[in-house]
Chain A
């Protein structure tokens, strides 16, 4: 399958498949609602008599709360409730891996933007004004805002007993390896934001049974439910969640935002309460990608063959743990990229500081590391005089190799092939005289007509784990129901797996059609009435929830055939479900599905687990930590205005192995969007934090790529089935975000001829002014 969207049409070539089944690209079922404005996102929810909730947040990165006076806020007409930590009925704590974050700060605030109090009122502006009348008496404390400083034993502790969240120590091969060629570098990666377009929102509705119904945009309903129950002191059956329309996620909705707050206000007021962040609050209201400080060293033979790697990775986790533990896990176990290293010493650290909390974002620990290992691979290539593509192919992982944790790469690892594909793509034409200024650095600002513009080309390759790792029980649940409705067979698929825009609902329909031969598949709303679907994270849903839906369909099919077998007095093993017919072993039609089902429905619920993963050894980091690996490569071509430091990405071409493209068009969409986010980190995206304060919490000052920034992309998708995965699928969403940024950074370095050891690369880094 290949696409060349540099021309007027997208061409997708696949073998012919039945429409709507796996391998086809049926349209997403929510598409029409989304283009007409009728699709209900979380921020569109509305309820009779609903109140609006707002959050009062800390202005300080670190302070002790000496007292909170809410009396004045309560006197504002239209205010229904003002709540503080004292009003949290259950445990005042939540967190994905450790419940270390207060629902509302009680004794301390540990980052700027930490929630301190809540207000519900009949108008959002009334609530905001009332919140300003809450008097919080803060004693400002010294803040630890530098990750290296946080590692000092005498640094103030953000939490007891200290600031270390995790140290991953990985050792393999020789203890003190030497090599004839040694290269090293330091690299820094700034704090990236998910910048999903739909701000955090939810509507909590108090129920007659004393419980609560929460409609919310999230990535994992059940992990939210667990944390909400803890904070409300309520059992799961009283805390019911339904997924509302999600305006993008990218990791930023893994942690709780409005969830408990809206429930608290609704339970207190007895009214439905809606909370919806504005963009500024959204920057404070979710975790970000960890900023990283890294030191890497590669030892190699004179021909460029790698002998050893040493890596030090320091990730700033901010004020609370969130998923720092797992991000360190990825940065440590995958942080040397898809290469073969005989000897390895990696130390990856995650620490607490009084900076904004950091956690999950697309690429999860691999993104930061890839900037370092890819820059160093270029350095090695130049040092030994080998081509930058060739050196990656020389050292690239192959199927059967062991990675740095000693895990066998037991399915396709086409590192060399992916690089060859991107290297062989035609290059964009040279810039001619009279080029359209919109295609030059500076674009519509018309800052150059080509003078001072230099072209550069860069390559990068990555591999990423798919699914949750290090022994996590990573499962999904699917309920599939088959019945006759109006003379037609209809399947209903019910999972709690979050659709965040990626197209999982389309994939669920495709799998049901493929397995059951039905045309009509209804996707039940995502809610906690069915078992957990696991997180829409780690590129895992097509694999894990897809696997669950496939397994549930197989169970339904088996149950239908059992019924048919009984009616026909034949062994079920001789029967097959073919569309709406039951056929015998030689294909003869024996009866119809309508006859077998009658007015009944057949329904099966199945939990699906991928093969287990294992904890790594705490001393050596060795172990089978991951389920599956996904590979991608990028080639970037940039034009740089070296006088102004402006960059125009001219081409961003990529190749990726997806195992099996269940929905080829959606796969391409993931690759295009993921590549854009990686490019954004290379060139423009950074939450600027000084002394613990966020300086740019807006889309005016935090820049994400626009349509003028994105170049046309050539994309080649490989389908080397993973024999361990349902249909052979390999996770798709994250690899493009990992390899695109380092390729862009490499291209800029090639154009400018400067080391540029920090991303995002800003104009002043290029000009040196």
Chain B
């Protein structure tokens, strides 16, 4: 199967894709974009979260064929060149990153939250990020990071 899709603003075309491959596998193994992570591969941990036509999805649950002709944005596509997105910047500054395996998914999920709700309350942050598992941080510094990113976006 041939997959043509637009990823982070660039047309991507890959051949010989087996029909059982997920969007996550194709991104990671065929398109050279391993930023989205493979922690559970059944939609429980959120580490593989990407935008598909602007909607956040678990890319492990999307068959690669479903992405044909659609627009995908991954964690690799959030920074503006060398300049980190405020969510990314806040994750680094607040110590919300330890091992970092959950980070790409959480960054995309937090990015989506702040696009929808510019100044989320704590319960709103918790609800929005409840589908993203983190084993290192206990989530406290992730909350700090989302609060900081919201503040900075409000100021900008």
Interface of A toward B, CB cutoff 8 Å: 5, 8-10, 25, 27-28, 30-32, 34-41, 43-44, 46, 123, 125, 194-199, 245-250, 276, 278-279, 436, 438-439, 443-444, 500-503, 665-666, 668-669, 672-677, 698-700, 704-708, 710, 712-713
B143 within 8 A of A: yes
If A5-B143, A197-B99, A197-B133 touch, whether A676 touches B91 (CB-CB below 8 Å) is: no
Indicate if the CB atoms of A35 and B97 lie closer than 8 Å: yes
| Interface pair A27/B40, CB less than 8 Å apart | no
Mark each residue of chain B from 80 to 109: 1 if its CB lies under 8 Å from any CB of chain A, else 0: 000010001101111101111111100100
Assuming A41-B37, A197-B45, A669-B98, is B92 touching A444 (CB within 8 A)? no
CB within 8 A of B123: which of A8, A195, A196, A436? Answer: A436
Residues of B within 8 A of A25 (CB): 95
What are 13 A-B pairs at a CB distance below 8 A? A9-B144, A10-B140, A27-B95, A34-B92, A35-B100, A41-B37, A195-B135, A197-B39, A665-B95, A669-B98, A676-B138, A710-B140, A713-B140
* Complex interface: chain B residues within 8 A of A675 (CB): 138
* Cα–Cα distance between A50 and B88 once the two chains are bound (Å): 32
Report if A43-B137 is in contact (Cβ < 8 Å); known contacts: A197-B102, A198-B99, A502-B98: no
- In the bound assembly, the distance between CA atoms of A276 and B41 in angstroms comes to 12
Q: Is B44 an interface residue (CB 8 A)?
A: yes
- Are B135 and A673 in contact, with the CB atoms below 8 A? yes
Are B75 and A248 in contact (CB-based, < 8 A)?
Answer: no
Known: A444-B127, A676-B139. 19 other contacts (CB 8 A): A5-B141, A25-B95, A32-B84, A36-B79, A37-B33, A38-B35, A39-B100, A41-B34, A247-B101, A276-B38, A666-B95, A669-B137, A698-B44, A705-B138, A706-B131, A707-B125, A707-B132, A708-B126, A710-B138
In the complex, how many angstroms separate the beta carbon of B144 from the nearest chain A beta carbon? 5
Q: Which residue of B lies closest to A52 (CB)?
A: B29
Which of A194, A198, A443 has the most C-beta atoms of chain B within 10 angstroms of its own C-beta?
A198
Contacts A31-B92, A199-B38, A708-B130 given; indicate if A9 touches B147 (C-beta within 8 A). yes
A391 to B34 Cα, complex, angstroms: 54
How many angstroms from the CA of A36 to the CA of B108 in the assembled complex?
Answer: 10
The answer to whether A710 and B36 touch across the interface, beta carbons within 8 angstroms, is no
Q: Is B6 in the interface zone, CB < 8 Å from A? A: no
Contact, CB under 8 Å: A197 / B95: no
Q: Does residue B59 face the partner (Cβ distance < 8 Å to A)? A: no
Q: Is the CB of B137 within 8 A of A197?
A: no
| Contact residues, B46-81 vs A (CB, 8 A) | 47, 74-76, 78-79
Question: Given A10-B144, A197-B135, A279-B42, A37 and B34 touching (CB < 8 A)?
Answer: yes
Nearest A residue to B35 via CB reads A37
In the bound complex, CA of A384 to CA of B37 (Å): 54
Q: Tell me which residues across on chain A come within 8 A of B141, comparing CB atoms.
A: 5, 10, 668-669, 672
**A8–B94 alpha-carbon span in the complex (Å):** 12
Helix, strand, loop or mixed for chain A's interface?
A: loop
Give B32's nearest chain A residue, CB to CB.
Answer: A46
* A44-B28, A501-B98 known; A708-B127 Cβ under 8 A: yes
Given A677-B135, A699-B42, A707-B142, does the pair A246, B76 have CB atoms closer than 8 Å?
no
B92 with A707: CB separation less than 8 A:
no
Q: Is the CB of A673 within 8 A of B136?
A: yes
Majority secondary structure of chain B interface residues (helix, strand, loop or mixed) = loop
Q: Which residues of B contact A194 (CB under 8 A)?
A: 135
Q: Is the CB of A501 within 8 A of B100?
A: yes
Identity of the chain A residue whose Cβ is nearest the Cβ of B34 in the assembled complex? A44
Rounded to whole angstroms, the CA-CA distance of A249 and B88 in the bound complex is 24
- Does B9 touch A at the CB level, under 8 Å? no
Interface residue? B129 (CB, 8 A) = yes
CA distance A307 to B72 in the complex (A): 67
**CB atoms of A707 and B40 under 8 A apart:** no
The 10 tightest CB contacts between A and B, nearest first, are A37-B35, A501-B99, A34-B100, A247-B101, A672-B138, A676-B138, A699-B44, A44-B34, A31-B92, A197-B101
Q: Please tell me which one of the listed residues B97, B126, B132 contacts residue A438 in the complex, with CB atoms under 8 A apart.
A: B126
Determine how close the nearest CB of chain A comes to the CB of B98; give it in whole angstroms. Answer: 4
Which residues of A lie under 8 Å from residue B125 when comparing CB positions? 707
Residues of A within 8 A of B107 (CB): 35
Q: Which residues of B contact A39 (CB under 8 A)?
A: 100
Residues of A with C-beta under 8 A to B101: 41, 196-198, 247-248, 501
Which residue of chain A has its CB nearest to the CB of B121?
A436
* Minimum CB–CB distance for B129 against chain A, Å: 5
Contact A279 B135 (CB under 8 A): no
Beyond A247-B100, A502-B98, whether A35 also contacts B130 by CB under 8 A is no
Check B139 against A38 for contact (C-beta < 8 Å).
Answer: no
- Across-interface contacts of A704 in B (CB, < 8 A): 133, 135
User: Which of A36, A196, A673, A700 is close to B138, meaning CB atoms less than 8 Å apart?
Assistant: A673
How far is it, in angstroms, between the C-alpha of A675 and the C-alpha of B138 when the chains are bound? 7
Nearest residue in A to B101 (C-beta to C-beta)? A247
**Given A10-B144, A279-B39, A501-B99; A197-B138 close (CB under 8 Å):** no
Query: Among the listed A32, A197, A698, which residue makes an inter-chain contact with B42, where contact means beta carbons less than 8 Å apart?
Result: A698
**CA–CA, A453 to B147, complex, Å?**
30
| A5 & B42 in contact (Cβ 8 Å cutoff) | no
Among A247, A276, A705, contact of B99 (Cβ-Cβ < 8 Å): A247
Residues of B within 8 A of A665 (CB): 95
